[in-house]
Copies of this chain bind each other. A is one copy, B any other.
Amino acid sequence: MRNVTLVIALGGNALLREGETGTYEEQLTHVGETAARLARVVQAGFRRILVTHGNGPQVGNLLLQNELAAASVPPNPLDGCVAQSQGGMGYMIQQGLAEAFRRAGVRRPVATVVTQVVVDPADPAFGNPTKPVGRFYTEAEACRLMGARGWRMKEDAGRGWRRLVPSPAPLEIVEVDVLRRLIESGTVVVGVGGGGIPVVRGPDRSLSGIECVVDKDLATALAARQLGAHVLVILTGVPKVCVDFGRPTQRALERVSVAELRSLHAAGHFAAGSMGPKVEAALEFLRPLPVGSREGREVLITEPGRVEEALAGRDGTHVVA
C-alpha cells in the first residue's frame, strides 16, 4: 500500500456538530477523534495521503464576524474568508493529526497547503446561486440586503432568510503539483479546505478571487483525479449510502458500480445538499481518465469510525469503476 494514494474528505461534522455552539474546544475535541481514526489508516500502511475538509459552519462564522464588525473593520470578500478558514482549520487538523500520530507511534510530517481552485466565470451557476451561506435574516433584513448588496436570498424552511451564493464546478486545483510533491515524499497533507479558494483565470491566465463556494466533495474528487489517486474516501455521518433512505424499504449499498450508482442517482435516491454531492463526486472521480488508465480505482463512502474497516473491504459503501 506504500504506493497507493488516498484522498480523504472529512465531512463538516469532523469539526463542528449540529446543536453545538461551536467553541474552539469543541472543534479541537472532534478533530482529535477524527485524527485518531486517520492515524490507524497510516498504521495500516497507507503512506500517500491528502486530507480535505469542509468549512461551511466556519466560513459562516467568519462572514457573520465580518458583518457584525463592518463598521470598524473593512469586511473581507468570500474568497478571503475561505482562505482564512483554510488557515484556521488546517492548523487544528494538522495539530490533531500530529498528536494522533505521536500517540500511535507513527512518525510522519503533516502540513497544510493553502489551495486555490479555478472555476469558470461563465459557469451557469453564477446565474443561479444555490448554496446558502452565513446566518439567517428576517424578511425585512433580507429585503434590505438584496437591495443594498445585490445578494440573492431565499427563505429557508421557516428558519429565516439566507444568502445564496453560486457553487460552480471546479476545473483545476492550482497547487496540485505542490500537493503531489509533498504527498509523494510521505507528508500527510491537509489541503483543498472548504472546496478550495475559488478563483477565475483572466484572458491573460492571471488568477483573481471570485465570490462563490465550490462543493468540497467535487473539489476533492478533482484533486484526487489530478493527483492520480487510487482511492477517494468520503467521510460523512452515515456508515453506508442508502437507497430509499428513511423508508421501510431502506437498503444500504455495500458494493455498487458506477453505472448502477448513476441510475440510482437519476432515480432521485440521493438528496441534494446531502448524499447527492457525495455521489456526484464519486461518479466524477471514477469517470474514465483522459489518458491511460489506472486499474482498481474506487470510492469509499462511510463514517469516520469505520474508515479502517472500510479500507480493508469490510465496511462502508464501495463504488467501483
Contact = CB atoms under 8 A, between A and B. Distances in A.
Interface in A50-76: 61-62, 64-66, 68-69, 72-76
Given A69-B69, A178-B187, A199-B95, A80 B74 contact: no
Of A112, A116, A205, chain B has the most CB atoms within 10 Å of the CB of A112
Interface stretch (A82-90, A152-160, A243-251, A307-315): A82-90
Interface stretch (A18-26, A38-46, A140-148): A18-26
Q: In the assembly, how many copies of this chain are there? A: 2
A242 to B, nearest CB: 34
B76 A24 contact: yes
Contacts of A65: 65-66, 68-69, 73
Chain A interface bracket (under 10, 10 to 19, 20 to 34, 35 or more): 35 or more
A94 B22 CA distance: 30
Contacts of A206: 99, 102
Given A72-B64, A113-B112, A114-B111, A24 B91 contact: no
B87 A61 contact: no
A185 interface: yes
Interface in A85-130: 85-88, 90-92, 94-95, 98-99, 102, 109, 111-114, 116
Given A68-B69, A83-B87, 13 more contacts: A22-B74, A64-B72, A65-B65, A79-B91, A84-B88, A86-B114, A87-B87, A87-B114, A95-B208, A98-B207, A102-B204, A112-B114, A181-B185
20 contacts: A64-B73, A65-B68, A68-B69, A69-B69, A72-B135, A80-B88, A80-B92, A85-B87, A86-B114, A90-B114, A91-B114, A95-B199, A95-B207, A98-B174, A102-B205, A111-B175, A112-B113, A112-B114, A114-B114, A178-B182
